[in-house]
Homo-oligomer: A and B are copies of this chain.
Amino acid sequence: MSNFTIIKNGGVTTPSGFSASGITAGLKKSGNKDMALIFSEVPANAAGAFTTSLFPAAPVVLAKDTLKTNNKFQAVIINSGIANACTGKQGLKDAEKMAELTASELKIEPEEVFVSSTGRIGTHLPMDIITNGIELAVKHLSTDGGSDAAAAIMTTDTTPKEVCVSLNLNGNTVHIGGIAKGAGMIAPSMKVPHATMLSYITTDADIESTLLSSLLQNAVSGSFNRVTVDGDMSTNDTVIIMANGKAGNTTLTAESPEISKFTEALDYVMQYLAKAIVYDAEGATKFVTVQVKNAKFAKDAELCADAISNSLLCKTAWFGGDPNWGRVLAAAGYSGASFNPAKVDLFYNDKPVVIHGEDAGTEEAELEEVLKNKEFTLTLDLNDGDCSYRMWTNDITYEYVKINAEYHT
């Protein structure tokens, strides 16, 4: 039994003291919502995890820079449609201007504002539209605004992604809410700290700043860094958490016994959002859990899981419902992982596919049945140690090609 409760229809504004909005500024041809604002009525401890790309977008550069000297934040302003990436000095000025405008409207300091952008790379932000959008976003701030914010950060997503849980910490009810966006250009970055899409987590827990940062990093490596849609890491990947302490609990520190409860709830929230991204993967029809077990070293398990999850041949076979296990073993074989091929077992759900590196003899029809499911688990057992790694991924379909061949924003 878990130590937390899922709050139906909850999101980033369910935790006390948070409001949010999602509005149409006019950045998208579709006229869909394109700017979001999340606001904490009091300064919140904050931490972030960001893309490790050598071309980080301007807002990522700004956020990382601001976090060097400040970890108290009150707002996140986000636009979708334009990524403000590969936009040079002007791009950085535009990101700074977004922080200033938001701060000015909210009567706070620019250093207390996170800026995020997502969308087309290489295009400058139309700052007149952004300026109006910020005014509008502040005007529409509401304690019911979480869903609007979730909708406004979408690009090729087909559904907004939000979640909230509550838990009891020594008599105080604490909430953790989150939203995320992402459906393509999704891959783990393989480095720490790292992140792989946009996600914003709010909590009314009172939690010490350094601890918050390390809990975020741990949660990211078990959630957003475990999903891959197409192996392409973005220039804008960002996960931000703000903890405003409005729940009134005794401040959580590295020594608090309640940390495990909080961690469990935070992991749930972030894994829920990470999985939601894979469920919504561009054009995908399958959700596949790739579990690699009993590797000698953690790195070997990770390399195998990563190669299988990103193999185009595996991903198209899953789409075709083809139990072609040769492609799975081939991917493990070229992954760079070290293991003994003669010891390897492979299972599709509970059906043995390969035993000791050879065909297990299960009827093809039985394996095809497994692959007909919308979700299945592929378990590669290296029988060589006790290290494991798990990834969530999806198939690659005609629709994926269509979306990405035709996505001229």
Chain A contact residues, CB within 8 Å of chain B = 51-56, 83, 85-88, 120-123, 184-185, 187, 189, 230-235, 310-313, 316-317, 319-320, 322, 324-327, 329-334, 337-339, 341-342, 354, 356-359, 396-398, 400-402, 404-408
> A53-B334, A330-B232, A397-B401 are contacts. A358–B86 as well, Cβ < 8 Å?
yes
Q: What CA separation (Å) do A122 and B326 show in the bound complex?
A: 6
Residues of B within 8 A of A121 (CB): 324-327, 329-330
B341 & A54 in contact (Cβ 8 Å cutoff): yes
In the assembled complex, how far is the CB of residue A64 from the closest CB belonging to chain B, in whole angstroms? Answer: 14
User: What would 30 A/B residue contacts be, using CB atoms closer than 8 Å?
Assistant: A53-B330, A56-B333, A86-B325, A86-B341, A86-B354, A86-B357, A86-B358, A88-B357, A88-B358, A121-B324, A121-B325, A121-B330, A185-B327, A185-B330, A189-B334, A231-B311, A231-B312, A232-B327, A234-B330, A235-B326, A312-B396, A312-B404, A316-B400, A316-B401, A319-B401, A320-B404, A322-B405, A322-B406, A396-B401, A398-B402
A325 & B398 in contact (Cβ 8 Å cutoff): no
B330 & A407 in contact (Cβ 8 Å cutoff): no
In the assembled complex, how far is the CB of residue A384 from the closest CB belonging to chain B, in whole angstroms? Answer: 12
B85 & A408 in contact (Cβ 8 Å cutoff): no
Residues of B within 8 A of A357 (CB): 55, 86, 88
In the assembled complex, how far is the CB of residue A29 from the closest CB belonging to chain B, in whole angstroms? Answer: 15
B88 & A322 in contact (Cβ 8 Å cutoff): no
In the assembled complex, how far is the CB of residue A56 from the closest CB belonging to chain B, in whole angstroms? Answer: 8
Residues of B within 8 A of A87 (CB): 358-359
B54 & A337 in contact (Cβ 8 Å cutoff): yes
> A55-B332, A233-B334 are contacts. A326–B404 as well, Cβ < 8 Å?
no
Residues of B within 8 A of A85 (CB): 326, 330
Closest to A406 in B: B320
In the assembled complex, how far is the CB of residue A296 from the closest CB belonging to chain B, in whole angstroms? Answer: 13
A404 & B313 in contact (Cβ 8 Å cutoff): yes
